[in-house]
Amino acid sequence: MQFTTIRRGLAAAAILACAPFAAAAQDFTPETPECIAPANPGGGWDFTCRQVGKTLQDLGLIPSTMQVVNLSGGGGGVAFAEVVNKRSDDNDLIVAASSATATRLAQNAFPGNTMDEVRWVGAIGADYGVIAVAADSGIATLPDLMEQIKADPTSISIGGGSAVGGWDHLKVLIAAQRAGVEDVRKVKYIAFAGGGEAVTQLLAGSLQAFTGDLSEAQGFVESGDIKVIALLAPDRLDGDFADLPTAREQGIDAIGANWRGFYAPGNMSDAAYDYWVSRIDTLYDSDEWKTIMASNGLAPLDLQGAEFQAFVTESVQSIQDLSREIGILQ
- AA identity, residue 169: H
Give the pairing of strands 157-160 and 209-213. parallel
CATH 3.40.190.10 residue ranges of the chain are 128-250
Assigned fold of 128-250: D-Maltodextrin-Binding Protein; domain 2 (3.40.190)
Contact 308, 314 (CB under 8 A): no
Higher pLDDT, 21 or 179: 179
- AA identity, residue 2: Q
For residue 11, the model assigns a pLDDT of: 41
Phi and psi at residue 82, in whole multiples of 5°?
-60, -45
Cα 260 to chain centroid, rounded: 5
Whole-number Å distance between alpha carbons of 135 and 139? 9
Phi and psi at residue 126, in whole multiples of 5°?
-125, 140
pLDDT in tens, 273-326: 999 999 999 999 999 999 999 888 898 999 999 999 999 999 999 889 888 888
pLDDT in tens, 169-198: 999 999 999 999 999 989 999 999 889 899
DSSP class per residue in 55-83: HHHHTT-SSSPPEEEE---GGGHHHHHHH
Element containing residue 170 per DSSP (H, E): helix 167-179
pLDDT in tens, 243-260: 999 999 999 999 998 899
Give the torsion through C-alpha atoms of 308, 314, 316, 318, to 10 deg. -140
Give the torsion through C-alpha atoms of 156, 161, 164, 168, to 10 deg. -80
Radius of gyration for the chain, computed over Cα atoms and rounded to the nearest angstrom: 19
Q: pLDDT at residue 18 above 50?
A: no
Contact 61, 75 (CB under 8 A): no
Assigned fold of 4-127+258-325: D-Maltodextrin-Binding Protein; domain 2 (3.40.190)
Q: By mean pLDDT, which of 7-11, 67-71, 217-221, 278-282 is the weakest?
A: 7-11
CATH 3.40.190.150 residue ranges of the chain are 4-127+258-325
Q: Would you place residue 6 in the very low, low, confident or very high pLDDT band (cuts 50, 70, 90)?
A: very low
Buried b / exposed e over 89-116, threshold 16 CB at 10 Å, is: ebbbbbbbbbbbbbbbbbbebbeebebe
